Amino acid sequence: MPIEIRPATVFEDTAAVLGPKNPDANACWCLSYRLLPKENRDLERTARGERVRRLVQEDPPPGVLAYDDGVPAGWAGIHPRADTSFAATRKIPHLDETPVWSLWCVRVRPGHRGKGISHELVTGAVEFARSHGAPAVEAYPVDNEGAKVDLTMAYVGTRSLFEAAGFTMAAKTESVLNGFPRVLMRLDLTP
């Protein structure tokens, strides 16, 4: 069965990919860029999962999930930049007034890696944004020049992952992750 990409509308499937093993752990849940910094800081432990439960009920939901043979295997966080912390960051530039969507997280669960799921997630996230009228999608991956990226920091993706999906580097940023500079990649979706 091929990898299937679906909007993240089922909380249990989203929790299987993003949630911690211990529900009371103070895990990210992919909220650090999705929420404004104050709300993100104020949410702790199970409240983080409950916030995601509400987000997956919104239209549009906060991202897409990859299913590997029907099993939730991966996640891509994507939403209009205006609804994310990227709207106010000073480290990642705004190129223009285009109401772009931000794709900030690509995560594949252990046991499902090495199957091209990251590539499927990026493609599926772009199609999801396109189906909701996005004129362009931006991503903020590391420019690692082929060097190994620590798995805990690989969630932002790499420049080569986004180039393979048709994105082009649009600008350098002042952001650094895991010792690698992050770049602003953009894919125009207008005809």
8 A C-beta contact, residue 3 and residue 65: no
In this predicted structure, what is the pLDDT of residue 137?
98
pLDDT reported for residue 92: 95
Q: What pTM was estimated for this model as a whole?
A: 0.94
Q: Are 82 and 99 in contact (CB under 8 A)?
A: yes
Q: Note whether 138 and 102 are within 8 A (CB).
A: yes
User: pLDDT tens digits for the chain (191 residues)?
Assistant: 689 999 999 999 999 999 998 878 888 999 999 988 888 889 999 999 999 999 999 999 999 999 999 999 999 999 999 999 999 999 999 999 999 999 999 999 999 999 999 999 999 999 999 999 999 999 999 999 888 988 888 899 999 999 999 999 999 999 999 899 999 999 999 97
> What is the structure's pLDDT at 12?
97
Tokens of 29: 């849940």
What pLDDT score was predicted for residue 91? Answer: 95
CB-CB contact of 5 with 65 (8 Å)? yes
- Predicted pLDDT at 1: 65
| Predicted local confidence at residue 135, as pLDDT | 98
Please name the residue that has the structure tokens 């794709």.
103
Length of the chain: 191
Distance, CA of 96 to CA of 100 (rounded, Å): 9
Cα dihedral across residues 137, 174, 32, 155: positive or negative: positive
**Tokens found for residue 18:** 């993003």
